[in-house]
Chains A and B, each alone.
Chain A
C-alpha cells in the first residue's frame, strides 16, 4: 500500500493587538511552519487619535506644542522639538544660543531615559526579569534629574517657538553632574549585564538580522539602521540646534566588536553606547553653554501675531531615540493656526523592516526581535475600517475619507 505523502502546511498565529509582548497595540500576523516564521503581516491602526487634525484646529500653534508633546509619552521632546524647528523655519524665527543648548540637554536626557527603558523592556521580553528590575531602578536617577530640571518626571513642557520656557540655573548644575557621574560609575556594570551575560547572548546573537543592504533598501532609521553598520544620524549628518557645535559621531556596533552582524545584540550595543554618548553630550553642553536670553520673543501676543502673519513651509528633523523624526508644517498669512501639520515618526519607517527582521526566526524570537526596533506605535497610525460581518479590514485613504465626509455633511443638511 502506498503511503500518502502529507503536505506540509503553515498556520497563522496573531500576536496582538493586545499581547503581553507588546507595550502598545499593533498586530503581527505570523505565518508559521512549526516554530519558524515564514511570513509576517504588520497591521497598524489601533491607536489612531487624529492628532494632526487636532493640531491644525487649535486656536494657535503654541497650543499645538502641547499636543505634539502628547503624540508619544516617551518622545515628549523630539516631537515638539521637530514642530518647533519646522515652525521656526516657516516663520523665520531665530533662537538664542543658550536656548539651543537647553534644548539639546532636554533631548539627550530623553534619549538616556528612553534607551534605559528599552533595555528593561527587552530584558523582560527574553524572560530576564531580574535585569528588567535592575535597569528600571537605574532609570530612576535620570527621571529624578528630569524632574529637577524640567519640573516633571515625564512630560517636560520646555519648548517654545524661539527658545525654551525655563532656564537651567547654576544651583541645578551640581545635582545634574552628580546624576551623570552616577551613570558613568554604573555603566561598566550595565555593559557586563547586557553584553557579557551568556543567556542574553544566546537569545540576542544572530536573532532578527537586518543586513546592511536591506537596511539601506528599506530606509530604516535610528539605532536600527546604525546597528546594521550604516552611520546614519541626523545629529551628525544634518546637525541642527546646538549639535552643530558638538561634533556628534554616529555609533555603529563595530566600535565594540569589530564586526557588524545587524542582529538584536548589535542593537543593544548601539543603544548602550548612545547612553554613554548622551552623557558626554550633556556634559559638553553644560561646559559650553553661553549666558544670555532663553527666548527671542517673550511676549505672547506679539509671538502669536508673528505666527499669524507668517507665510511659508518648514521641515523639522530631529534624531529621536528611535530614529529620525520629521515634521512638516505649512503656515498661511492671516491664518492663526497651522494650515498643514504632518508628522512622520521613526517607527513608521522601521515597521517596514519587520517582515525582513522576523523572517526565518522562531516564535520565541519574535518578541525580542520586534522590540529591538523599539516600536512606538502611538505615533504611527492610520484609520482602519473593520467589517464585522465578514471580518475584512481596509484602510481608509484620503479620497475615501473625503467622500464619506461629504456624504455625512449632505445627510446632516437634509
Chain B
C-alpha cells in the first residue's frame, strides 16, 4: 500500500497538519480532564482543590524552571527519554479514534500497533529513570517495568477476545479500529456474552488505572516510599514533557477503552445528518464518554484506595485480572457456541 496515496502532496500536508491539530487538541483536553479529575478528587476528600486550569499552570511553570541534569546521569539518555515519551504518546493518538471521528492514520495501523505504542512511553519513563543514576529512580524504574509486564497480559487478552468475536461477524480485518467501531461488541453478543464483555470492561478499567499510574498503582512514583521514584531527578522542561506525556497517555488510554467498548455515535440516533452539526455533537458525546470512563476507572478508584505494594499490584494483574479476562473470554466463546 502506498502510504501517502495518489495525491502525495495533499495527503502529506493533511497528515502533518492533522497530526499537529490532533495532538494539540488532545493535549488541551487531556490537561483539562486532569484538572477536572483533581477537582473531583478534592471535593470527594472534602477539600476545595486546585482550579480546573491548574494543570495548564503547572505546565507553564515547569517551562520556566531550570532543567537540571544530575551529576552521574547519562545526559543524552536523560534528556532524550522525555522527548521519546511525549512523541510516542503523540503518535499513539494518531491511531486511536477521537472525538467521534475515525483515527487519522487508522488505515495504516491497527489495535495491535496501539498496544505496542502504549508500551513505548512506559519504556521511556524506565529509561529516563535508569539514566538519572538515583537509587530512588532505579527502584522506581524496576517497579515500572514489573507493573508494565503485569498489565500487558490482561490487556492483550481483552483485545484478542474482542477482535476474535468481531472477526466472526465480518470478513474485514477485525483488528482495525474502523472495523471495531462499525461492529460494536455488545450488538454481537447474547446475554452470556454481554456478561463476559462486562468482565472485560472491568479488567480494562483496572488496566487503565495502571496505565495512568494512579493510586493504587502509582507504585513507580510512590511519593512516600521512593520520593517520586523514576521522576525524582527530573525538573523543568524535561519534567514538563513527562507530565504532558502522562496526561496525553491517560487520555489516549481512555479513548482506547471508548473505542473498544463504546464506539457509538450520538448523531445517527437523534437524526442529525449534516456533517458539521453531526461532527460537533459526536465530538461532545465523545468527551462525555471519556469523562464517564475516566471518572469510574481513575478518579473513583484513586479516591477510594491505598497504594498497593509491587508484589500485590503485580498479582492483581497477573492473577486476578487475567483470570477475570479469561472467564470473560470463556463466556464470549460459550455465547457464540449457543447462538
Residues in chain A within 8 A of chain B (CB atoms): 11-14, 19-21, 35, 123-131, 133-134, 137, 197, 199-200, 202-203, 362-367
Contacts and interface: CB of A to CB of B under 8 A. Distances in A.
Contacts of B215: 127-129
Interface string B59-73: 000000000000000
Given A21-B224, A363-B139, A367-B224, A127 B46 contact: no
A203 B135 contact: no
A21 B226 CA distance: 8
Contacts of B136: 13
Query: Which interface residue of A11, A199, A365 has the most chain B CB atoms within 10 A?
Result: A199
Query: Which interface residue of A127, A137, A197, A363 has the most chain B CB atoms within 10 A?
Result: A127
Given A20-B224, A127-B215, A364-B219, A200 B306 contact: yes
Contacts of B47: 133
Interface residues of B, number: 29
13 contacts: A13-B135, A19-B227, A20-B228, A126-B307, A128-B306, A130-B44, A130-B303, A130-B304, A133-B45, A197-B306, A362-B311, A364-B222, A365-B309
Contact of B305 (A19, A128, A367): A128
Contacts of A203: 306-309
A137 B310 contact: no
A45 B143 CA distance: 32
A123 B225 CA distance: 13
A125 B45 contact: no
Nearest to A12: B135
A134 B303 CA distance: 12
A366 B47 CA distance: 28
A134 B306 CA distance: 14
Given A13-B136, A35-B139, A364-B219, A125 B309 contact: no
Contacts of A137: 46
B223 A20 contact: yes
A127 B227 contact: no
Nearest to A11: B135
A127 B224 contact: yes
Nearest to A13: B135
Nearest to A126: B306
A12 B138 CA distance: 12
A199 B306 contact: yes
A123 B307 CA distance: 10
B305 A199 contact: yes
A126 B312 CA distance: 13
A409 B184 CA distance: 88
Nearest to A32: B139
Nearest to B226: A363
Contacts, number: 79
Contacts of B129: none
A413 B135 CA distance: 49
A197 B228 CA distance: 26
B233 interface: no
Contacts of B227: 19-21
B216 interface: yes
Contact of B225 (A11, A14, A21, A200): A21
Contact of A35 (B45, B135, B218, B310): B310
Contacts of A35: 139, 142, 310-311
A366 B307 contact: no
A123 B226 contact: no
Given A20-B223, A199-B306, 8 more contacts: A12-B135, A124-B224, A126-B306, A127-B222, A130-B44, A134-B45, A202-B306, A364-B307
Contacts of A199: 216, 305-306, 308
Given A11-B135, A13-B139, A130 B45 contact: yes
Contacts of B135: 11-14
The list of the 4 closest CB pairs from A to B, nearest first, reads: A127-B307, A128-B306, A199-B306, A364-B309
Nearest to A125: B224
B304 A364 contact: no
Contacts of B219: 364
A129 B304 CA distance: 9
Nearest to A129: B45
Contacts of B303: 130
A14 B135 CA distance: 9
Interface in B208-225: 215-216, 218-219, 222-225
Contacts of A19: 227
A131 B306 CA distance: 9
Contact of A364 (B45, B46, B142, B225): B225
Interface string B123-159: 0000000000001100100100000000000000000
Query: Which interface residue of A126, A362, A365, A366 has the most chain B CB atoms within 10 A?
Result: A126
Contact of B310 (A13, A197, A362): A362
Query: Which interface residue of B215, B224, B303 has the most chain A CB atoms within 10 A?
Result: B224
Contact of A362 (B304, B305, B307, B309): B309
Given A133-B47, A199-B216, A367-B225, A128 B307 contact: yes
A364 B310 contact: yes
A194 to B, nearest CB: 11
Contacts of B304: 130
Contacts of B310: 35, 362, 364
A293 B287 CA distance: 71
Contacts of B226: 363
A35 B222 CA distance: 14
A197 to B, nearest CB: 8
B306 A366 contact: no
Nearest to A368: B224
A249 B219 CA distance: 41
B13 to A, nearest CB: 47
A394 B298 CA distance: 49
Contacts of B311: 35, 362
Nearest to B303: A130
A130 B300 CA distance: 11
